Every structure is written in C-alpha cells, then in structure tokens.
C-alpha cells in the first residue's frame, strides 16, 4: 500500500509569495489544498471591481497550474468585527494600533487552523518571510533570511502550540529569489507588486478611511510652550511622529518671513482635542522608556519571565515597527509593570503600536506600547 501523503492547507492570496510557497510544498510531495480568505469587499480596482475577486483570480490561476483545489473562505464578518471595528475604537482613543498583528492573531491563523481541521490536514502553510525551528524540545519562531522583508513583527502573538502545525517555506529565501522561482515556473504574478497598507485592505488613504467612521472635530495645534500655531481637523487622524504642514492637510501659521520649520506630532490630547507639535530634533519627540502592555511570549511562561526580570533586567533587541531597527534594550518588571528601556532614544514611538522582542534571530514575543 502506498504511503499516505502529508496534507497541508496553504493560504493563497494571489501574490507571488504565497504562490511560491504553494509550489515549494507541491514539489516536496505534499498533498496541497489552497485556501483563499475573503476578508474585505469594499476596496475596488480601476475597473470598479472588488479587489478580492481580482486577487482570487490570480490565486486560481496558480492553483490550476499546480493542479490543486482552491477553496474560498468568507471571513469578512469576523474581520470587520474583530479587526476593523477595534482599529476605529483605538484611533478614537488617540492611540495608533497595528491591525496586521490583530488580523493574524484573531482572523487569519484561526481560520486557517479551522480549515486544516476540516480537511484533516497536518499543517498550515503561508508565504510569510519567517522560519520555524525546534530547539531544546521547543518550537520557535525566527526572523526570515531577507531582513528587508522579514514579517516576524506581525506574528509575535503566535503560540508555540500553533507553530507545531505551521510551515513557512519561503523564510529561507530572499524576495529576489522568490520572484525568480516564480518567473522560472511561468507564474503570471512573478512581478506583481507586494501588498502594502492594511492587511486584506491594501494601500489606502488612512485619513479618508478613518473619516468614514470618525467625524472631523476642529481643534488647536499647539507647540510645547502652549502657543497656538494652527488648527487640525481631528486628533484621531494623526499619529505620533507624523510630519505636519500645508502638504499634510494642516494649516500652521508662519511667523513673519521666517523659514517654516518641520513640525511633527509629539503628543495627542483626545479629551482637550489638542495636537502638541514640536520642530524636528526636539527632545519631546523621542522616547527611551516604554511600558509594555498585553505582554505575550511565544513559548509561554509569562509569570516566570516576570519573576526573572524583576530580579535582574534581561538584555534583548527590540523593534517598534515593521523591519525597523533592532535596538539593544533591557526589559524589567517592577511596580506591576513590564518596562522596556531602549538602548537609545527613538522618535515616532506611538502608543498602541507593537513592540517585538528578539534574542538573536529568535522571536521572544512582545506587547503593546504604552506610557
């Protein structure tokens, strides 16, 4: 009797990364089932057609070429409720969330794991630029080979029990190598642009997107001394570190004939509806110490880790944005709070964003930036 093939579910988005991930699994002899997640139907292409339909056609062409089935799963209701509605709530509170992290945690991977169970599949596969490996009996998540495409920042909330059932086949390749594999295999999407913007929504004008749910509210723009410089149209539309000026839909008064300085958002006061701004290089724009909320470790053991870092801070590398600089830092626990001290002050550190911790290439986990 022939040995039964190992079955995998592959998330196929229509992009080159997931297409090559599918190809690699097929070449290795796995039984492959493609899954296309439909999460957003409001975005339209230049022909007025829902973007997800265009993306699914790309995925279907690859599936047909590889002679595998493609299943479409509708996750839009959950995506809107648990990702987009939560994102709007955070912006109303004056913080800047990371919807891609939340999407992976509460929609994408839960749905893929559900489909794997439905089809009795052994693993789920995605086209993320990360790697999984087992060391000392534990499954770990590692940064991808291509540092400019590494996506571990968005996956820090995965759990070890989930990693046991995951394969990320393109993590050991560079983006250039992935495109070349696609080209050599005749994939029509080998030069297709990578997705940017919000997960499943794509590139969008964030301010216009927020205005669809958050009404404008005119307020003052002030400097650090309290001088009124101009007006904004809604605190929720702006984020810490964002540059302001006429080009950015904000009217800041010029003082006499002086050259206009570059102003950046330093603080947001939602209650008073005020934006505090500062010129480039001002110390108020930089932060070194961060409180980390909603702390998560991929390998678990948060209580034990807190106890450990309460006795002595642990050295780690921290990243406050996708493919941002890996900053040498120290993490400690005192006063009931997990605190991260960055090796140097950084600008653009915004409450609500993710901070991800690393030990070498290994992803330890992370949390949400707070005061």
Residue range(s) occupied by CATH 2.30.30.280 in the chain: 215-280
The hierarchical CATH code for the domain 215-280 is 2.30.30.280
C-alpha distances in Å from residue 42, one per residue of 50, 71, 96: 7, 21, 22
Q: What is the pLDDT of residue 253?
A: 58
Distance of alpha carbon 215 from its chain centroid, rounded? 26
Which of the 8 DSSP states describes residue 201? T
Q: Does domain 285-370 have CATH number 2.60.120.10?
A: no
pLDDT for residue 153 is more than 90: yes
pLDDT in tens, 109-132: 999 999 999 999 999 999 999 999
Contact 106, 82 (CB under 8 A): yes
Taken in order 137, 141, 146, 147, the sign of the CA dihedral is: negative
Residue range(s) occupied by CATH 2.40.30.10 in the chain: 285-370
In sequence order, the 6+-apart residues with CB closer than 8 A to the CB of 192 are 14, 15, 16, 58
What would the two tokens of residue 281 be? 């290089």
Superfamily of domain 7-127+169-206: HUPs (3.40.50.620)
In sequence order, the 6+-apart residues with CB closer than 8 A to the CB of 361 are 142, 143
Query: Which residues participate in catalysis according to the annotation?
Result: 103, 199
Residue range(s) occupied by CATH 3.40.50.620 in the chain: 7-127+169-206
Q: What is the pTM of this model?
A: 0.90
Which of the 8 DSSP states describes residue 18? H
Contact 52, 72 (CB under 8 A): no
pLDDT for residue 256 is more than 70: no
Q: What is the pLDDT of residue 59?
A: 94
């Amino acid at each position: 009797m022939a040995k039964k093939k190992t079955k995998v579910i592959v998330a196929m988005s229509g992009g080159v990364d997931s297409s090559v991930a599918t190809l690699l699994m097929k070449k290795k002899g796995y039984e492959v089932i493609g899954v296309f997640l439909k999460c957003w139907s409001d975005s339209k292409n230049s022909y007025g057609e829902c973007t997800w339909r265009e993306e699914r056609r790309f995925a279907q062409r690859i599936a047909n070429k590889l002679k595998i089935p493609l299943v479409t799963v509708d996750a839009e209701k959950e995506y809107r409720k648990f990702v987009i509605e939560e994102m709007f709530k955070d912006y109303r509170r004056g913080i800047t969330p990371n919807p891609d992290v939340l999407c992976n945690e509460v929609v994408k991977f839960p749905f893929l794991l559900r489909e794997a169970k439905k089809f009795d599949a052994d693993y789920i596969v995605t086209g993320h630029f990360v790697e999984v490996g087992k060391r000392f009996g534990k499954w770990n998540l590692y940064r991808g080979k291509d540092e400019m495409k590494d996506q571990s920042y968005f996956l820090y909330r995965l759990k070890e029990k989930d990693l046991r059932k995951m394969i990320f086949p393109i993590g050991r390749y560079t983006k250039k190598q992935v495109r070349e594999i696609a080209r050599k295999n005749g994939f029509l999407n080998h030069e297709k642009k990578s997705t940017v913007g919000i997960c499943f929504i794509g590139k969008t004008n964030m301010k216009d997107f927020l205005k669809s749910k958050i009404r404008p509210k005119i307020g003052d723009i002030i400097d650090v001394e309290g001088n009124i410089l101009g007006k904004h149209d809604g605190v929720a539309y702006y984020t810490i570190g964002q540059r302001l000026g006429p080009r950015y839909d904000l009217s800041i008064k010029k003082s006499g004939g002086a050259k206009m300085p570059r102003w950046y958002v330093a603080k947001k006061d939602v209650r008073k509806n005020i934006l505090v701004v500062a010129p480039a290089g001002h110390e108020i724009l930089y932060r070194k110490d961060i409180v980390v909320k909603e702390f998560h470790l991929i390998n678990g053991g948060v209580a034990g880790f807190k106890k450990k870092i309460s006795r002595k801070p642990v050295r780690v590398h921290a990243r406050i944005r996708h493919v941002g600089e890996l900053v040498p830092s120290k993490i400690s626990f005192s006063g009931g709070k997990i605190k991260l001290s960055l090796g140097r002050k950084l600008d653009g550190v915004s409450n609500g964003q993710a901070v991800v911790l690393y030990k070498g290439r290994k992803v330890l986990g992370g949390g949400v930036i707070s005061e």
